[in-house]
Amino acid sequence: MVDVKPSAGPAPEAPATGTRPKRRAVVAEDEALIRMDVVETLREAGFDVVGEAGDGEQAVALVTELKPDVVVMDVKMPNLDGISAAERIGKAHLAPVVLLTAFSQTELVERARDAGAMAYVIKPFSPADLLPAVEIAISRYAQITALESEVADLAERFETRKRVDRAKGLLMTKMGLTEPEAFRWIQKTSMDRRLTMREVADAVIDQVGGAA
């Protein structure tokens, strides 16, 4: 068995970003005042809002053209609702989507998840609600993209995601890492040891989980 058990010690440091380019966002919301609030919040957080839309069809067209780093989109919009728009964006692998909704119904949350939305925020919301959801969406989307590039088979991809999620949870609990740090640890160990991320995840589950 390959030994990948993490040693106790400081969490891995994120690489220095220097003057990284601004991340680009598209905002889709049919209520102009809410759209303005979202745009202002994102810009104050350092995002470049490259497109705004008032309906779902326009949102999909903008995202297809601009390929932003994240999309913040309302669930209820004319022409095409936000969940259907998120599904189109997700199937085309264009960008992570954060959905805005006035409801927290289980059915709606499940529909949003099945459509490929990475996060959702319930109205009314503050910057303290929106910005963490945006960061979570970007991080999860990057993780999924990395896993999909490694595994071609759909069934294998789903099982790999489950194993990696479980391994991330163990690393977060045992090493005090954040979710992005835990994923980066798995990804780096995979590259350093010339293993797949699933092999690393399985080793973490066996060695860290078995010791619990």
Looking at residue 17, its pLDDT comes to 45
Q: Residues 50-97: pLDDT tens digits?
A: 999 999 999 999 999 999 999 999 998 999 999 999 999 988 889 999
Q: Is the pLDDT of residue 8 over 80?
A: no
Angle CA 160–168–202, to nearest 5: 45
Cα radius of gyration (the chain): 19
DSSP sequence for 81-92: -HHHHHHHHHHT
**10 Å Cβ neighbour count for 95?**
23
Kindly report whether the global pTM for this prediction surpasses the value 0.95.
Answer: no
Q: Residues 97-156: pLDDT tens digits?
A: 999 988 766 677 677 777 778 888 988 899 999 999 999 999 889 888 888 777 667 677
